[in-house]
Amino acid sequence: MSGCEVPISVERQKRHVVVVGSGLAGLTCAHSLLEKGLDVTILTPGYVGRDGATQRVRALAPWILLNAPCQRGDSPDRFFEDLQRAGQGMGRPGLAEVFAAEAPRAAKELVELLDLQPLDEGAVLLPGNSHPRGRRFLPRGRGLLLQRLVGAVHSTARVYERALAVGLELSPGRVLGVWAWHRPQGQLRLHRGEAVVLACGGVGALFGPSTVPRWCRGSGLALAFLARALLHNPHITQALPVLAIPPVYFPTTAALLKSRIWLGESLLPQLPDLETLSTQLAQALRHGKKAWLELDASDQSLLPRWIRETPPRTDGHRLPLTLAVHHGVGGVAIDTWGRTSVPGLYGCGETAGGVQGARRLMGTGLLEARVFGLRAAQAICKDLQKGNLSPAGEPCSHILPLPAFPSHLEAFLDRSLAALAVVRPPEEVAQCLEELDAWPTTPQGANAKAWLTAIRRAAAHTLLSAELSAFARKGEEVPRELAG
Ligand SMILES: Cc1cc2nc3c(=O)[nH]c(=O)nc-3n(C[C@H](O)[C@H](O)[C@H](O)COP(=O)(O)OP(=O)(O)OC[C@H]3O[C@@H](n4cnc5c(N)ncnc54)[C@H](O)[C@@H]3O)c2cc1C
Q: Write down the pLDDT at residue 391.
A: 66
> Given pLDDT bands bounded at 50, 70 and 90, which one contains residue 478?
very low
For the residues 437-448, what does the mean pLDDT come to? 94
Given a cut of 70, is residue 156 above it in pLDDT? yes
Residue nearest to atom 50 of ligand 1 (CA): 57
Whether 8 is covered by a domain: the verdict is no
The reply to whether 84 falls in a domain is yes
Distance 347 CA to ligand 1 centre (A): 13
> Does 184 map to a domain?
yes
* Predicted local distance difference test score (pLDDT) of residue 172: 86
Task: Specify the residue with its C-alpha closest to ligand 1, atom 27.
Answer: 201
Q: Are residues 315 and 362 in the same domain?
A: no
C-alpha of residue 481 to centroid of ligand 1, in Å: 37
Lowest-confidence region among 105-109, 225-229, 288-292? 288-292
The per-residue pLDDT for 12 is 40
pLDDT tens digits, one per residue of 119-141: 998 898 988 999 999 999 999 98
Indicate whether 157 belongs to any domain. Answer: yes
Q: 124 with 269, same domain?
A: no
Picking from 276, 267, 370, the residue whose alpha carbon sits closest to that of residue 32 is: 370
CA of 348 to the centre of ligand 1 (A): 11
pLDDT of the residue at 315: 54
- On whether both 257 and 201 belong to a single domain, the answer is no
Cα of 200 to ligand 1 centre, how many Å? 8
Ligand 1 atom nearest residue 366's Cα:
11
> Which contiguous run of DSSP H or E holds residue 416?
helix 406-419
Give me the sign of the Cα torsion angle 268, 269, 274, 280: negative
Do the beta carbons of residue 203 and residue 459 sit within 8 Å? Answer: yes
Residue 426 pLDDT more than 80?
A: yes
Mean of pLDDT over the chain = 90
Instruction: Give the tens place of pLDDT for each residue, 65-100.
Output: 999 998 888 999 999 999 999 999 999 999 999 999
| pLDDT above 90 as % of the chain | 69
Domain that holds residue 175: 16-236+329-397
| pLDDT tens profile 206-248 | 998 889 999 999 999 999 999 999 999 999 999 989 888 877 7
pLDDT of amino acid 476 = 55
pLDDT for residue 392? 66
Are both 25 and 139 inside the same structural domain?
yes
User: Does 21 lie in the same domain as 162?
Assistant: yes
Residues with CB under 6 A from ligand 1: 20-26, 43-46, 51-54, 56-57, 60-61, 64-65, 164-165, 199-201, 211-212, 215-216, 219, 250, 349-350, 363-367, 369, 455
> What is the full DSSP assignment across 206-241?
GGSSBSS-TT-SSHHHHHHHHHT--EE-TT-EEEEE
How confident is the model over 300-354, as pLDDT tens digits?
777 777 777 766 555 557 888 999 999 999 999 999 999 999 999 999 999 999 9
pLDDT of residue 390: 67
Residue 226 and residue 117 share a domain: yes
Lowest mean pLDDT among 243-252, 279-288, 433-442, 448-457: 243-252
- pLDDT for residue 311: 60
Please tell me whether residues 150 and 227 are part of one structural domain: yes
322-325-331 Cα angle (round to 5): 170
What's the Cα-to-Cα distance from 85 to each of 76, 101, 127, 240, 371, rounded to whole Å? 14, 16, 12, 21, 21
Instruction: Please state the domain count of the chain.
Output: 3
Q: Is residue 373 located within the same domain as residue 423? A: no
**Weakest mean pLDDT among 267-276, 326-335, 418-427:** 267-276
Distance set, CA 8 to CA 14, 33, 40, 250 (Å) = 11, 11, 16, 44
- What pLDDT shows up at residue 247? 75
d(CA 89, CA 83): 10
Same domain? 276 vs 318: yes
Judge whether 149 and 22 are in contact, CB under 8 Å: no
Q: Which residue has a Cα nearest atom 46 of ligand 1?
A: 52
Percent of the chain's residues with pLDDT above 70? 92
Residue 143 has pLDDT above 60, yes or no: yes
What mean pLDDT is predicted for residues 101-128?
Answer: 94
Contacts of 62 (CB under 8 A, 6+ apart): 250, 252, 304
The answer as to whether 309 is a domain residue is yes
pLDDT of residue 257: 83
Considering only CA atoms, give the Rg of the chain.
22
- Specify the ligand 1 atom closest to the Cα of 164: 42
* Amino acid 7: pLDDT: 35
How far, in Å, is the centroid of ligand 1 from the Cα of 58?
11
**Residue finishing a domain among 308, 325, 342:** 325
Domain final residue, candidates 325, 346, 378 = 325
Q: Whose CA is nearest to atom 41 of ligand 1?
A: 165
Q: Whose CA is nearest to atom 4 of ligand 1?
A: 57
Helix, strand, or coil (residue 196) = strand
**2 — pLDDT class (breaks 50, 70, 90):** very low
How far apart are alpha carbons 183 and 380 in whole angstroms? Answer: 29
CATH number of the domain enclosing 217: 3.50.50.60
Q: From the CA of 182, how far away is ligand 1's center (Å)?
A: 21
Pocket test for ligand 1, best of 18, 22, 138, 189 (most atoms within 8 A of CB): 22
Do 432 and 357 fall within a single domain?
A: no
4 part of a folded domain: no
Higher pLDDT, 248 or 361: 361
Pocket test for ligand 1, best of 48, 56, 221 (most atoms within 8 A of CB): 56
Ligand 1 centroid–CA 11 distance in Å is 32
Q: Is residue 7 part of a domain?
A: no
In which band, very low, low, confident or very high, does the pLDDT at 480 lie, cut at 50, 70 and 90?
A: very low
State phi, psi for 145 to the nearest 5 degrees: -65, -35
How far is residue 135's CA from residue 117's CA, in Å, rounded to a whole number?
Answer: 10
pLDDT at 6 over 80: no
User: What is the rounded CA–CA span in Å between residue 258 and residue 302?
Assistant: 10
Backbone angles phi, psi at 477, to 5 degrees: -70, 130
The reply to whether 5 falls in a domain is: no
Q: Are residues 352 and 285 in the same domain?
A: no
Partners of 292 in beta bridges: 262, 320
Residue nearest to atom 17 of ligand 1 (CA): 54
What pLDDT is stored for residue 71 in this prediction? 85
Look at residue 160 and tell me whether its pLDDT is greater than 50. yes
| Residue 48 vs residues 23, 163, 481: alpha-carbon distances, Å | 8, 10, 44
* Same domain, yes or no: 255 and 367: no
Of 297, 325, 353, the last residue of a domain is 325
How many whole angstroms from 25 Cα to the centroid of ligand 1? 8
